[in-house]
Amino acid sequence: MGALVSAFWLLKSEPDVYGLDELERAGEGVWEGVRNYQARNFMRAMRTGDLFLFYHSNAKPSGVAGVGRIVREAYPDPFQFDPKSKYYDPASLASDPRWSAVNVGFVERFPRVISLEELKAHPGLVGMAVVQKGTRLSVTPVSAEHFERVVAMGRFGG
DNA sequence: GCCAACGTTGGC
DNA sequence: GCCAACGTTGGC
């Protein structure tokens, strides 16, 4: 049941805000603050045990730093109801929360970050959302093939 | 810090 | 429902 990996994802975060280092230290964390409907819908489709590529955006270099796992499926993001939070959404109703969060766990850190440049240059990753021009979505599905390929690059350099 | 890309909002 | 204005993302 929950042990089966059903899907793969890529999640973007700015490491200055929330990075793989922090997830590794804590072991588990909350993926919150997503305020885009498409990304939210993907989050709601996540299942416990799904694996994801942890992508560092606005970093030097930007790229995939490692792997995480979904440990709790989507639930209402508490920050949408907190007027003091930058993620506060006054239009979201408690009876029908607009935004979701998931909990994530640490799986592995690659020996090196696979930069966006490398991802773009790899012929086996054509079509992956993160390498497509103009794709800013912070949550995207990844095919099993692409996921395995990036993990292989991260572990073995290529 | 700049700016292209693109999502959202709101006037009409 | 159109679309201009505005805001955000994120590479560079």
Per-residue pLDDT of A73-131, as tens digits, reads: 999 999 998 888 888 888 888 888 999 999 999 999 999 999 999 999 999 999 999 99
Which of the four pLDDT bands, split at 50, 70 and 90, describes residue A1?
A: low
Would you tell me how many other CB atoms lie within 10 Å of the CB of residue A53? Answer: 27
**pLDDT the model gives residue A109:** 97
Question: Which of the nucleotides lies closest to A86 (Cα–C1')?
Answer: C8
Residue A36 CA distance to nucleotide C4 C1' (Å): 21
Angle in degrees, CA A40, A41, A47, rounded to 5? 100
**Which of A38, A102, A108 is CA-nearest to residue A70?**
A102
Number of domains in chain A: 1
Give the CATH number, domain containing residue A73: 3.10.590.10
Looking at the domain assignment, is residue A2 inside a domain? no
* Domain encompassing residue A94: 8-156
Q: Looking at chain A, which runs of residues are DSSP E strands? A: 8-13, 28-31, 51-56, 63-76, 100-115, 139-142
Looking at the domain assignment, is residue A49 inside a domain? yes
A136/A138 Cα distance (integer angstroms)? 6
Chain B positions with an atom below 7 A of a protein C-beta are 5-9
Residue A3 CA distance to nucleotide C12 C1' (Å): 41
Looking at the domain assignment, is residue A98 inside a domain? yes
* A31-52 residue pLDDT tens: 999 999 999 999 999 999 999 9
A106/A19 Cα distance (integer angstroms)? 11
